[in-house]
Amino acid sequence: MTSSHTLPLPDGRRLTAETGSGGLRLSIDGRPLLSAACEPVEGGFVLVPDPVDGRPVPLAMDAAWAAACWLFTGDPACRRLIWRGIVPDPALLRSGLLLADGSGGTVSRRDAFWQLPGPWLRGPGTTGYPAIARGDGVHLHRPPKPAGELYRRFDPALGLWISLRSLDIDADLERFNRWQNNPRVLAFWQEGGDFLRHRAYLEGLAEDPHVQTLIGCFDDEPFAYFEAYWAKEDRIAPFCTPGDHDRGIHMLVGEEHHRGPHKVRSWLSALVHWMFLDDARTGRVVSEPRADNARMIGHMQSLGFLREREFDFPHKRAALMVLDRRDFFDRCPGLSEPSTTAAAHENSYV
């Protein structure tokens, strides 16, 4: 029996997979990309594109990307795709989407795929920005902060779009004020106040080159406020010995109906994913929640953050939480989740 499922992509296109009888056919917006035998192996699948006149098939970038996107998004157990019977486009090997396996074959790896900016990163990112020391010889010049939408991905486990955009003071001041005065948020952030105070707070951050203010959205509904900062210029620096491009985060969920561990897994993985994509030189993401914020610390640990130690800020006892880039992409928490795609694989191959 053949089944068909579709995964929306951030650029408006739709990736469709038809599975059945050990085969996989992929298309985007009705344009066929790949027809291949697809057999499970430990840790992934073997893909053999349908041959033409008995000869190896040229494998194009868009076909390889579609296969990786479909299989790595919907099956958390899938860590590799073994390609056979192909002639790879050299651009695939240069991009890292295809890797030589050392024995004449090629593989696609999940940890490599999710490090490619793909359609998720909505701007050029900062990786190409030169590492230039400021006058003090210690800190770096930071790139101009981007505006608009920065990240977008469909979460099949929730059936929702998760996106990040830059904060717009005029458009977001009312909700920021409302969120900060929520007693639950106030207990941890301690930033309650009126519109004038909060406008001044946000304007100060807008002028600060080391902080990017963000609004998180589910299906384009704003629900959370985040601050992403360059750790070397932040007050956390003496406590975590950051690299030049390591980043940190402050987080709050303002809308009550978007709370819950399933939502945290989605938005926290998206936030971390955006930071690692935005600059490939970012080796760690750090955070310093209050040491008694057990719920948030637990959420972070479930995604791979390590609680390294506690330390004292003037205003709080903090827990140092650290997430290593390699650890994140090795696990891909929140990016590769059971969904309709995983169910389709199971029905077709097991």
Q: Name residues whose C-beta falls within 8 Å of residue 86's C-beta, 6 or more positions apart in sequence.
A: 49, 56, 57, 58, 59, 106
**Do 146 and 123 contact (CB within 8 A), yes or no?**
yes
Rounded Cα distance, 118 and 11, in Å: 10
Structure tokens at 146: 């981007």
Asked whether the CA dihedral 5, 7, 12, 13 is positive or negative, the reply is negative
Rg (CA), the chain: 22
- Tokens describing residue 285: 């993401």
The token pair at 158 is 């929730």
> Could you give the CA distance from residue 226 to residue 216 in angstroms, rounded to a whole number?
7
Q: Among 188, 186, 176, which Cα is nearest to 319's?
A: 188
Alpha-carbon distance of 272 to 276, in angstroms, equals: 6
Q: Which residues are catalytic?
A: 288
